Amino acid sequence: MKAIIAAAGTAGHINPGIAIANKIKEKEPNSKIIFIGTTRGLENDLVPRAGYELKSIEAYGLSKKISIQNIKNMVKTLKGFGEAKKIIKEFKPDIVIGTGGYICGATISAGHNLKIPTLLHESNAFPGKAVKMLAKKTDTILVSFKDAIPRIKHAKNIVYTGTPVKIKKKEYGINEKLSIIKNAGLNETKPIVLVFGGSQGAKKINDAIIEIIKEKKNKDYQMYWATGPKQYDIIKEELEINDLNINNIENMKIVPYIYNMEEIMNVADVIVSRSGAMTVTEISNIGKPSILVPLPNVSHNHQLYNAKVLENINAAKIIINDELNGKILNEKIEEIVLSKEKSNQMAKNALKVSTGDAEEKIYKEIEKLVKNK
């Protein structure tokens, strides 16, 4: 199989594209796959690191507002359509795949124009502009959440597959679980609350945790808190001002970043985080109660819609970013960790929207399009 994958900007768009490429390679080792991206996004690091060739085109997100900059971006994006068309003609793929973001506009349109089978994957519960715009042109649209289906109009074919993620549910033996907990600097006697805000951390969440520490509210649970590399030293200094040593706080382990996230998520009792599509998918796949703080000011407020997927089945509690503080967060945590019955039910509910092996489902849809072309 020969495939082109359009993925650009954030890891949330690029990593699913890489996972799809890896699955194709696993099934068909002789496959040839290239990526199309821009010169600006994380694809310039992640795609070559994964072992794939990246070709760049001009592509920009377009605003409805009339401005000189928007007109310039429109002209550049039209140029990008021509660049994508040229790459497709030269590579002669069996399929053109997009995993969301503005890069898909030029690439999927060019593939459709050249009568190549096209497929789009939408990670968010509220589909982005590119997916809505390309619905008529795309042969198959794959979605991570069923909630996205009624929000995509005029699509030829929509299939619910889930999002490919690295973190899977693990059933550890007692000794293995105790070893993970011990190595994390935690103990097995109290519930574990895992807190993170994405790879760079989330200041609003961090501020709420600092309040909890200062007021010593976490007496009935322990926290494993990833601050984000850029915020770790700032938090260390703030704690020192309050005569607190970042490495010696009761019921608290504070780290800049979590490298063994799969292990920690699986041994945690509750997860506190933002609600990006991949995070919500991982939480549902491993079956954990969660407290979600959607990142505000993102396109169509899509993190809120992602969080509602779990809240609507009573698997998560949502705290709006502007309403978050230590008192409210502590109340939500205690509500879950102090009730084993509630915690267990939320965990079972989360598994209801787990999609299992998303990569396998996605590959089958790709295979159908290639065989029928």
Instruction: Looking at the structure, tell me whether residues 105 and 220 fall in a common domain.
Output: no
- Model pLDDT, residue 11: 82
- Model pLDDT, residue 103: 87
- Model pLDDT, residue 297: 76
Q: How many domains does the chain have?
A: 2
Instruction: Looking at the structure, tell me whether residues 17 and 86 fall in a common domain.
Output: yes
Phi, psi (degrees; rounded to nearest 5) at 144: -85, -30
Instruction: Looking at the structure, tell me whether residues 30 and 142 fall in a common domain.
Output: yes
- Model pLDDT, residue 69: 61
Residue type, 160: Y
- Model pLDDT, residue 65: 64
Residue 213: give its domain's CATH number: 3.40.50.2000
Instruction: Tell me, yes or no, whether 27 lies in a domain.
Output: yes
Instruction: Looking at the structure, tell me whether residues 149 and 264 fall in a common domain.
Output: no
pTM of the model: 0.86
Instruction: Looking at the structure, tell me whether residues 367 and 288 fall in a common domain.
Output: no
Burial of 248 (C-beta count, 10 Å sphere; 0-12/13-18/19+): exposed
Please say whether the beta carbons of 350 and 319 come within 8 A. Answer: no
Please say whether the beta carbons of 275 and 292 come within 8 A. Answer: yes
Phi, psi (degrees; rounded to nearest 5) at 218: -90, 55
Instruction: Tell me, yes or no, whether 168 lies in a domain.
Output: no
Sites in the chain below the pLDDT cut of 70: 59-78, 199-200, 299
- Model pLDDT, residue 76: 59
Phi, psi (degrees; rounded to nearest 5) at 21: -60, -45
Please say whether the beta carbons of 216 and 188 come within 8 A. Answer: no
Locate 215 and state its tokens.
């007021």
- Model pLDDT, residue 373: 76
Instruction: Tell me, yes or no, whether 330 lies in a domain.
Output: yes
Angle CA(262)–CA(315)–CA(122) in degrees, nearest 5? 70
Which range of residues forms the domain containing residue 87? 2-163+356-371
